[in-house]
Structure 1
Amino acid sequence: MEFLLKTYLDYAIFGLLGLMSFLVVAYGVERHLYYRRVDLGSFAHPEALKIALTANLTTIASVGSNAPYVGLLGTVLGILVTFHDLGSGATFDTRTVMLGLALALKATALGLVVAIPSILLYNGLLRRVDELTARWQVMRESS
């Protein structure tokens, strides 16, 4: 078990964060393209418009809010592995301990690298939803 954790921890955490960032990019591009071509006149009810405009935004927000925790999980497990190796070894080498801790912290950094743009994208798309909803309302009132 410890060999698997030590060997595949980085791959698992970075793979999961990579998948999360891929989803954010894919849904972000999809939403941007949808907002450019949406026909506001085809919606009769405000809730139907809101449902159409906010599709996939929950996934983007979820990635933004959970990516730091995935990174933190990688860091905690990396530190756990480092301390386990330290406890199992007969010699205490400061360089090895510091290298293990530094490598463990890269997971948190990557989690933040995924989260910050995700939240910025989510907020930008939410602003666009508000703008399109307001345009729809003006269209309905002027008819």
Structure 2
Amino acid sequence: MIDFLQNGLDAIIFGVLGLMSLILVWLGIERHLFYRRVDLAQYTEPESLNIALTHNLTTLSSIGANAPYVGLLGTVLGILLTFHQLGTSGQIAANQIMLGLALALKATALGLVVAIPAILIYNGFLRRIDVLTARWTRMQRERTGQ
């Protein structure tokens, strides 16, 4: 198990974060294009409008909330592996410890690189939903003459 983690930890963590990034970009583009072309007149009920506007936002929010934890998991496992290697080698050198810790921290950094844009995109879409919903409400009032 230790050998598997030593050889594949970076690939696993970076693979998961890469997949999260790909989903983030894909859903971000899809939502952006949807918001640009949405026809508010086709919605007659606020619930159906809300369902259409918030589609896939939970996934974006989940990526933003969980990417740092995936990175942190990689860091913690990297630190555990570093200490295991130091314990089994019988040599404790400061440069080995620092190098192992530095390499382990790259997973947390990558997790943050994924999470920060995800949260920014998610919050931007929430604002866009507020604007579209307000426009729809105004349009409904004009239709009914209120």
TM-score in terms of structure 2 length: 0.96
- Show the counterpart of 2:66: 66
| Counterpart check, 1:80 vs 2:80 | yes
Aligned-pair CA distance for 1:136: 0.4
Letter in 1 for 2:11: Y
What SS is found at the alignment partner of 1:44? coil
- Show the counterpart of 1:118: 118
Q: Show structure 1 runs of 5+ residues with no match.
A: none
Aligned-pair CA distance for 1:93: 2.0
Aligned-pair CA distance for 1:90: 2.3
Q: Show structure 2 runs of 5+ residues with no match.
A: none
Query: What is the total number of aligned residue pairs between the two structures?
Result: 143
Aligned-pair CA distance for 1:34: 0.3
Superposition pairs of residues 1-143 of structure 1, within 5 angstroms: 1-143=1-143
User: Structure 1 runs of 4+ off > 2 angstroms?
Assistant: none
Distance 1:132 1:91 in 2: 63
RMSD: 0.6
Letter in 2 for 1:128: R
Aligned-pair CA distance for 1:10: 0.4
